[in-house]
């Protein structure tokens, strides 16, 4: 019988930290979404460049670690199915509850597609030297970072490219597109790939320093799914009391 693999503590802790940061951001966002008047200091924080950078950092950590962890699973398609079903559930719920802001392709949708791409091409990706794979991935991420906004390296792209539909998945949404969460393949697949190439290197296992972070990271999908209805539900009830 094959021995059970030991979990890598620092991976669980980093992923747990990223999940908790996302939850805090959602809580702050709900303050401004559900309440007629939110504190000015909170609005300033949510609109600040610093928060945007932190948010991108945690998204990068989450996607990168997901790519790294592809090397640690024996059943990649089972992982794809589990994340894909969770993404479909989020689309269904937001379509019913918030039709104008439906999450058509959020972070879980992006992860499911990235994981499927890895399941199809993992053997070929393992042949790429890790250093050059990481460097190329980060460079391509920088080049395509503003593609969803209509730019490449500061140059405006033709509006005719942004027709939406399935192209929204790639990062070419129509100008009127709105969603609570939008994480297109371009540029974010390159953060996932950077994690995949990092996983080709020899990494230390380390030990667990925070049981809370390790728990959240170990059960990141469940924590992500459970916190959404809890946070929305609490703020919905609080908004009724606040406005009443």
In terms of DSSP bridges, do strands 151-152 and 155-156 run parallel, antiparallel, or are they unpaired?
antiparallel
| Dmax (CA) of the chain | 62
Q: Is the pTM above the cut of 0.75?
A: yes
Q: Give the Å distances, CA to CA, from 218 to 17, 89, 91, 127.
A: 11, 21, 24, 29
Return the closest-CA partner of residue 171 out of 144, 197, 194.
144
Sequence-ordered list of residues with C-beta below 8 angstroms from that of 2, at least 6 positions apart, any chain: none
Per-domain residue ranges for the chain?
9-243
Higher pLDDT, 205 or 222: 222
Q: So what's the pLDDT on residue 198? A: 95
**Least reliable range by pLDDT among 14-23, 76-85, 234-243:** 234-243
Banded model confidence at residue 242, pLDDT cuts 50, 70, 90 = low
Judge whether residue 10 has pLDDT over 60: yes
Q: So what's the pLDDT on residue 244? A: 58
Percent of the chain with pLDDT over 90: 59
Judge whether residue 116 has pLDDT over 70: yes
Sequence-ordered list of residues with C-beta below 8 angstroms from that of 205, at least 6 positions apart, any chain: 6, 8, 9
Q: So what's the pLDDT on residue 36? A: 64
pLDDT tens, residue by residue, 129-177 = 999 999 999 999 999 999 999 999 989 999 999 999 999 999 999 999 9
Banded model confidence at residue 43, pLDDT cuts 50, 70, 90 = confident
Cα distance between residue 222 and residue 229, in whole Å: 12
Return the closest-CA partner of residue 228 out of 111, 94, 55.
94
CB neighbour class for 78 (10 Å; exposed up to 12, middle 13-18, buried from 19):
exposed
Judge whether residue 192 has pLDDT over 90: yes
Q: Are 141 and 190 in contact (CB under 8 A)?
A: yes
Judge whether residue 3 has pLDDT over 50: no
**Least reliable range by pLDDT among 16-20, 32-36, 79-83, 91-95:** 32-36
pLDDT tens, residue by residue, 66-105 = 999 998 888 999 999 999 999 999 999 989 988 988 999 9
């Amino acid at each position: 019988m094959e021995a059970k693999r030991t979990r890598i503590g620092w991976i669980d802790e980093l992923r747990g930290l990223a999940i908790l940061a996302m939850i805090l951001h959602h809580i702050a966002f709900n303050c401004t979404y559900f309440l007629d008047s939110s504190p000015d200091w909170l609005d300033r924080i949510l609109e600040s460049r610093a928060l945007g950078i932190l948010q991108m950092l945690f998204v990068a950590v989450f996607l990168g670690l997901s790519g790294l962890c592809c090397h640690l699973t024996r059943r990649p398609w089972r992982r794809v199915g589990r994340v894909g079903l969770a993404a479909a559930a989020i689309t269904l719920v937001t379509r019913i509850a918030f039709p104008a802001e439906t999450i058509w392709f959020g972070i879980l949708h992006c992860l499911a597609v990235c994981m499927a791409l890895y399941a199809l091409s993992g053997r070929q990706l393992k042949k790429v030297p890790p250093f050059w794979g990481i460097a190329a991935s980060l460079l391509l991420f920088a080049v395509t970072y503003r593609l969803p906004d209509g730019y490449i390296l500061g140059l405006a792209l033709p509006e005719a490219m942004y027709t939406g539909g399935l192209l929204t998945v790639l990062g070419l949404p129509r100008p009127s597109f709105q969603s609570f969460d939008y994480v297109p393949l371009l540029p974010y697949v390159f953060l996932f790939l950077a994690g995949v190439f990092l996983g080709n290197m020899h990494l230390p296992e380390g030990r667990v320093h925070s049981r809370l972070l390790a728990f959240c990271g170990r059960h990141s999908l469940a924590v992500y799914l459970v916190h959404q209805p809890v946070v929305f539900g609490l703020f919905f009830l609080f908004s009724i009391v606040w406005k009443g």
